[in-house]
Amino acid sequence: MISSKLRQKWAVTLLAWSVALLLAFPVFWIVLTGFKTETEAISRVPHFFFHPTLENYQAVGERANYFHFAWNSIVVSLGSTFLALLLAIPCSYAMAFFPTKRTKDTLLWMLSTKMMPSVGVLVPIYLIFRDTGLLDTKTGLLAIDAMLNLPIIIWMLYTFFKEVPREVLEAARMDGAGPLRELYDLLLPLSMPGIASTSLLAIILAWNEAFWSLTLTAAKAAPLTAFIASFSSPEGLFYAKLSAASTMAIAPILLLGWASQKQLVRGLTFGAVK
Amino acid sequence: MATVQLKQVRKSYDGFEVIKGVDLTIRDQELTVFVGPSGCGKSTLLRLIAGLEEITSGDLLIDHQRANDVAPAKRGLAIVFQSYALYPHMNVADNMSFSLKLAGIPKPERDKKVMEAARILNLETFLDRKPKALSGGQRQRVAIGRAIVRDPKVFLFDEPLSNLDAALRVRMRLELTKLHRQLRATMIYVTHDQVEAMTMADRIVVLQAGIIEQVGSPMDLYRYPRNIFVAGFIGSPKMNFMEASIAQVLQGGSVVVALANGATLSVPAVDGMAGAGDKVTVGIRPEHISLASSDGISAQVQTVEHLGSESYLHLNIASGELLTVRINGETTVVPDQQVQLKMEPRSLHLFNKEGSTMRSLPTSTA
Amino acid sequence: MIISDQELSQNVVPATATRRKSWRDSVGVLSLKTPAISALFIWSIIPLLMTIWFSFRRYNLMAPDRTGFDGLGNYRYLLTDPSLALAIWNTVLLVGSVLAITIGLGTLLAVLFDQEFFGRGIARLLVLAPFFIMPTVSALVWKNMLMNPDNGFLAFTMRSVGLKPINWFGVAPLTAVIIIVAWQWLPFAVLTLLTAVQSLDGERKEAARMDGAGPIAMFRYIIWPHLGRAIAATTMIESIFFLAIFAEIYVTTSGGPGFASTNLSFLIYRYALMEYDVGGASVAGLVAIVLANILALFLMRSFARNLDA
Ligand SMILES: Nc1ncnc2c1ncn2[C@@H]1O[C@H](COP(=O)(O)OP(=O)(O)O)[C@@H](O)[C@H]1O
Ligand SMILES: [Mg+2]
């Protein structure tokens, strides 16, 4: 009896790990290739065992523009998250604690703005950016990312705020706190974990955003997504260096993502799945 | 001096009326208890007074001033919630002094008031702790302390003891009554537990479905319930009810009623509206029935519950109705035994078809 | 001290019928919402109106002086362009296949990863990894290092089992894109559905086991019905993203060969930023918006029901 249960557990272990390794293999392969020489990297027979080298990382690091693009990614993802939070926190607070008859409709409308495919408005945004000098600027991309993430952030914060017991805020109201005090002295400290994971998700999404990065930025303000895309037309040996650059571009987000996996589901499903 | 007055107060949510025209005066320094089954609107009424909900129509007067539009914090009231609603990220002292800080009161004075409240509530040694590190009873006391430091005109309590275990609940009940005497404060206390209402209240307000059924002192409600609802709600175990009809109207206002099993009872001091043949309900509390050696209403014992100090008999009378009787704890009655019941006429309640009492009430209890 | 009700009712301000609006409807609370709502409103409405406006105009960025009202000219031109129909078809195919793969496989994997096994935490992190890889990286890696018919890893694997390697981007470009996108989004479906499976009451599963339910019956009668809401949510979110797939095509096939892997997003990009035809791109943009809204109508309706706002 016990041994059959154990045997089943081993069978599940084997199956699940095979699936996991298979799915993660491309990521593993990127990291591995980053430590190969270019010759090893393009070999027809893949090298699993080789003498690891750091030369690709040196090469990528020496091309100073890598850090230029990385800096753009950092500024845009952190900046857009900050801007979106600034707009979203008061809004979610008002909707969670002073709901009106229209609150539900407002939330659904916000969701529906995510339904609008970005490409549908590519032309006007491109022209507006061209005419206002926002094309290829960090500010422009940052603003777009903030708008893209705003509905998700508002929804996430809304569901987190709803979990703060209403009575606690009412007690504060009885104690003489106005709406802003309620927000800053109570709600923000109480929902810090929720705000943190919301920010994390927004940073991840902005970091990986590709459509607007590719269409609205060029040499000056391009983030890492666009920088990596410039490898798509290969000249010469480049797999290993591409892998090294990719590893550097995905590593921070992979770590953040793993750290926020629980809230990720909730955020991306707008609280429908917790 | 603090009084609260409600005049034809109504509250609806999306057109659904929850408080249906309440007229009530809360008197200075009294502990008034709102009691009623869950969902009857007690909390809503309290929150209307606190200003946490908006009054749909009618007037709220606090110390004779219309307060409908006064912000909650400006009404001079303090509320203690069932969930305590402590600020989880502040320690006990900060929880209590938060309102004073917001009011711009200087630190030395704040500390003095907090210390004073902590002394009253035996919280001195916990001032640095976060709510997480406190027991249920201690949290409850912090919530009360938060109210005390504000020195409010009226204390509002919404089922403050419901989250405590039974033993602690009894102790906190006593402490609250003591506190009430000590502070000489006006208090409104909401509960669904009629025992709490009976033991603590100066006056009880019985609510049902958004309507006040009766207002009065605990003993008034116990002795002279105005209708079947109040009669059944106040008192434990519950009052017994039996279907009956009026057999005879006597001189001087008393009547003779016939029970379904044919037995007759005479009920004194009934209002003038009774007529022979009317369907009525007779009520009698378990503690007002006793066992007779003979000549009473015969009944068969179904179960005997021994509580030690007393026993409850659940018995069937011939009509099939089930009665509860409270007798002394040492009884030797056993199930299936036949017994005779004696009912004291003065303790009988009589209700008409609409459920209103037919007995003339000795005093106005409104 | 006891005062009679009569005394209390003296000197009372009379009740008035008109009441000030309560403070929660006040300007203060409204002003908290206004910035976010108006920003979103502007973001969602002005570009849309401009797209509609441009769709009626003759406007090519290469010939800025030849502009003017063109009536339905752009529409006539675009709707008769065979590439539009192809792009729509590719879009539907792309969205549909990736949805089917991720939800189908995702459900199975969610149930698998709900089991107890050794190293479950780490295995779960591995499964999640593809979701966090930026789309341009995944696309490039798949294109060059995995699907390359010459020195890619897949080619090597196929050769080692005696098969002829597939020239993915030449022969089946759309399939290749579907595989890449499905790989990226499978983790999301697994994670969402796993969360839903785990929220299933353990006692209910135990009760079913006591009633004699084996693994199949358990899935069919207990787990599957419980997943409805999570599947609806996953479908909606994924559809939003799949309709707008762009980067994966941009770095792998550039929509080719021909239009074989051009979806609506990429078609619009071709019109707008490769042919500089603002009018044409705008019409295509409207088609995308209409398509998205048809989809959204179904999804939002099922979603609104689940919403506990
Ligand atoms: N915010 C609200 N919206 C709609 N209905 C409510 C709201 N608050 C309370 N109610 C309804 O009002 C009635 C009375 O509620 P409440 O005052 O909480 O009852 P009690 O405290 O006596 O148990 C209940 O039927 C409840 O469903
Ligand atoms: Mg209540």
Average pLDDT (A148-165) is 89
Residue C230 contacts by C-beta under 8 Å, 6 or more apart in sequence? A269, A272, A273, C192, C193, C195, C196
Q: How far is A91 from chain B (nearest CA, A)?
A: 21
- Do C279 and C209 lie in one domain? The reply is yes
Please list every residue in chain C whose beta carbon sits closer than 8 Å to the beta carbon of residue A88: 36
**Residue span of the structural domain in which C293 resides:** 73-308
Spacing, Cα B19 to ligand 1 middle (Å): 9
> Worst-scoring range by mean pLDDT, B95-109, C56-70, C131-145?
C56-70
pLDDT tier for residue C214 given thresholds of 50, 70 and 90: confident
Residue C213 contacts by C-beta under 8 Å, 6 or more apart in sequence? C221, C222
- Rounded CA-CA distance C265/C285 in Å is 8
Ligand 1 contact, B47 CB (< 6 A): no
The rounded mean pLDDT for chain A is 84
Residue of chain C whose Cα is closest to the Cα of A118? C244
CATH 3.40.50.300 domain position(s) in chain B:
4-232
More reliable by pLDDT, B212 or C74 = B212
Instruction: Decide if B233 contacts B35 (C-beta within 8 A).
Output: yes
- Do C32 and C79 lie in one domain? The reply is no
Average pLDDT (C276-288) is 82
Ligand 1 contact, B46 CB (< 6 A): no
CATH hierarchy code of domain A57-268: 1.10.3720.10
Q: Which of A98, A232, A256 sits opposite C29 (nearest CB)?
A: A98
Chains that touch C (3 or more CB pairs under 8 A): A, B
Whether residue C285 is contained in a domain is answered as: yes
- Among the CATH numbers 3.90.1150.10, 3.40.50.300, 3.40.190.10, 3.40.980.10, which is that of B4-232? 3.40.50.300
Phi, psi of B282 (to 5 degrees): -100, 135
pLDDT tier for residue B1 given thresholds of 50, 70 and 90: low
Predicted confidence (pLDDT) per residue in B190-200, tens digit = 999 999 999 99
- Rounded CA-CA distance C102/C179 in Å is 10
Average pLDDT (B276-301) is 89
Average pLDDT (B338-346) is 89
Is it the case that residue B280 has pLDDT exceeding 80?
A: yes
Residue window 76-115, chain A: list those with CB within 8 Å of chain C. Answer: 87-88, 90-91, 93-95, 98-100, 103-104, 106-108, 110-115
Average pLDDT (C292-301) is 75
Please list every residue in chain C whose beta carbon sits closer than 8 Å to the beta carbon of residue B58: 15
pLDDT given at position C15: 37
- Do C41 and C88 lie in one domain? The reply is no
Is it the case that residue A167 has pLDDT exceeding 50?
A: yes
Q: Which atom of ligand 1 is nearest to the CA of B40?
A: 22
Domain map of chain A by residue range?
A: 57-268
The percent of residues above 90 in pLDDT, for chain C, comes to: 14
**Sheet bearing B310-317, strands edge to edge:** B289-292, B338-343, B297-306, B310-317, B322-328
More reliable by pLDDT, C67 or B250 = B250
Tokens encoding A71? 């800096």
pLDDT tier for residue A233 given thresholds of 50, 70 and 90: low
Is it the case that residue C110 has pLDDT exceeding 80?
A: yes
Q: How far is B75 from chain A (nearest CA, A)?
A: 9
Specify the pTM.
Answer: 0.80
Residue of chain A whose Cα is closest to the Cα of C125? A258
CA distances from B341 to B265, B294, B324, C171 (A): 12, 8, 11, 98
Spacing, Cα B41 to ligand 1 middle (Å): 6
Q: Is B50 in Cβ contact with A176 (below 8 Å)?
A: no
More reliable by pLDDT, B225 or C3 = B225
Average pLDDT (A135-147) is 92
- Rounded CA-CA distance A211/C136 in Å is 10
- Do C89 and C122 lie in one domain? The reply is yes
- Do C177 and C36 lie in one domain? The reply is no
Q: Which atom of ligand 1 is nearest to the CA of B46?
A: 17
pLDDT given at position B117: 92
pLDDT given at position C250: 87
> Worst-scoring range by mean pLDDT, A85-89, C31-35, C209-213?
C209-213
Phi, psi of A130 (to 5 degrees): -65, -40
User: Looking at the complex, does the CB of residue B29 fall below 8 Å from at least one CB of chain C?
Assistant: yes
pLDDT tier for residue C169 given thresholds of 50, 70 and 90: confident
Q: Which of B7, B25, B28 sits opposite C15 (nearest CB)?
A: B7
Average pLDDT (C125-129) is 89
The rounded mean pLDDT for chain B is 90
The percent of residues above 70 in pLDDT, for chain B, comes to: 98
Average pLDDT (C279-307) is 75
- Closest-CA residue, ligand 1 atom 14, reads B41
pLDDT given at position C14: 37
User: Looking at the complex, does the CB of residue B99 fall below 8 Å from at least one CB of chain A?
Assistant: yes
Q: Which of A168, A170, A181 sits opposite B102 (nearest CB)?
A: A181
Q: If DSSP states are collapsed to H, E and C, what string results for C197-232?
A: HHCCCHHHHHHHHHCCCCHHHHHHHHHHHHCHHHHH
The percent of residues above 90 in pLDDT, for chain B, comes to: 64
* Of residues A91, A267, A119, the one with CA closest to residue C237: A267
- Among the CATH numbers 3.40.630.20, 2.60.40.420, 2.40.50.140, 3.40.50.2020, which is that of B238-358? 2.40.50.140
Residue of chain B whose Cα is closest to the Cα of C25? B54
The rounded mean pLDDT for chain C is 79
CATH 2.40.50.140 domain position(s) in chain B:
238-358
Whether residue C64 is contained in a domain is answered as: no
SS3 state at C276:
coil
Ligand 1 contact, B205 CB (< 6 A): no
**Cβ count near A102 (within 10 Å):** 10
Average pLDDT (C140-157) is 82
pLDDT given at position C305: 62
pLDDT tier for residue A76 given thresholds of 50, 70 and 90: very high
Please list every residue in chain B whose beta carbon sits closer than 8 Å to the beta carbon of residue A167: 81-83, 85
Whether residue C60 is contained in a domain is answered as: no
Spacing, Cα B114 to ligand 2 middle (Å): 29
Determine the distance from the C-alpha atom of residue C185 to the mean position of all C-alpha atoms in its chain, rounded to a whole number: 10
User: Looking at the complex, does the CB of residue A119 fall below 8 Å from at least one CB of chain C?
Assistant: yes
User: Looking at the complex, does the CB of residue C21 fall below 8 Å from at least one CB of chain B?
Assistant: no
Q: Which of B78, B83, B99 sits opposite A167 (nearest CB)?
A: B83
pLDDT tier for residue A206 given thresholds of 50, 70 and 90: very high
- Rounded CA-CA distance C233/C249 in Å is 26
CATH code at position C151:
1.10.3720.10
Q: Which atom of ligand 1 is nearest to the CA of B42?
A: 22
Is it the case that residue A38 has pLDDT exceeding 80?
A: no
User: Looking at the complex, does the CB of residue B28 fall below 8 Å from at least one CB of chain C?
Assistant: yes
Q: How far is C121 from chain B (nearest CA, A)?
A: 30
Is it the case that residue B270 has pLDDT exceeding 90?
A: no
Whether residue C35 is contained in a domain is answered as: yes
> Worst-scoring range by mean pLDDT, A51-55, A68-72, A80-84, A220-224?
A51-55
Give the side-chain half-sphere CA count within 13 A for C116: 5
Is it the case that residue B307 has pLDDT exceeding 70?
A: yes
Which of B34, B44, B83 has most ligand 1 atoms within 8 Å of its beta carbon, as the pocket-test mutant?
Answer: B44
Q: To 10 degrees, what angle do helices A138-162 and A103-115 make?
A: 140
pLDDT given at position A1: 53
* Of residues A11, A27, A20, the one with CA closest to residue C120: A20
- Closest-CA residue, ligand 1 atom 26, reads B39
Whether residue C236 is contained in a domain is answered as: yes
**Cβ count near C309 (within 10 Å):** 17
Instruction: Decide if B221 contacts B349 (C-beta within 8 A).
Output: no
Phi, psi of B292 (to 5 degrees): -110, 160
Is it the case that residue C20 has pLDDT exceeding 50?
A: no
Secondary structure element (H or E) that encloses residue B154, with its range: strand B154-158
Instruction: Decide if A184 contacts A89 (C-beta within 8 A).
Output: no
- Do C15 and C122 lie in one domain? The reply is no
Residue of chain C whose Cα is closest to the Cα of B63? C8
Closest ligand to residue A101's CA: 1
Please list every residue in chain A whose beta carbon sits closer than 8 Å to the beta carbon of residue B102: 175-177, 181
Q: How far is B101 from chain A (nearest CA, A)?
A: 9
Q: Is B5 in Cβ contact with C9 (below 8 Å)?
A: yes
Spacing, Cα B239 to ligand 1 middle (Å): 28
Ligand 1 contact, B44 CB (< 6 A): yes
pLDDT given at position C255: 80
pLDDT given at position A228: 82
Is it the case that residue C12 has pLDDT exceeding 50?
A: no
Residue of chain B whose Cα is closest to the Cα of A165? B85
Closest ligand to residue B53's CA: 1
Instruction: Decide if C234 contacts C192 (C-beta within 8 A).
Output: yes
* Of residues C265, C277, C258, the one with CA closest to residue C77: C277
Closest ligand to residue B16's CA: 1
**Cβ count near B235 (within 10 Å):** 18
Ligand 1 contact, B210 CB (< 6 A): no
Q: Is A45 in Cβ contact with C140 (below 8 Å)?
A: no
Structural domain count of chain C: 2
Instruction: Decide if A266 contacts A156 (C-beta within 8 A).
Output: yes
Ligand 1 contact, B208 CB (< 6 A): no
Q: Is B81 in Cβ contact with A167 (below 8 Å)?
A: yes
- Do C12 and C160 lie in one domain? The reply is no
pLDDT tier for residue C7 given thresholds of 50, 70 and 90: very low
Ligand 1 contact, B288 CB (< 6 A): no
Which of B18, B54, B83, B213 has most ligand 1 atoms within 8 Å of its beta carbon, as the pocket-test mutant?
Answer: B18
pLDDT tier for residue B271 given thresholds of 50, 70 and 90: confident
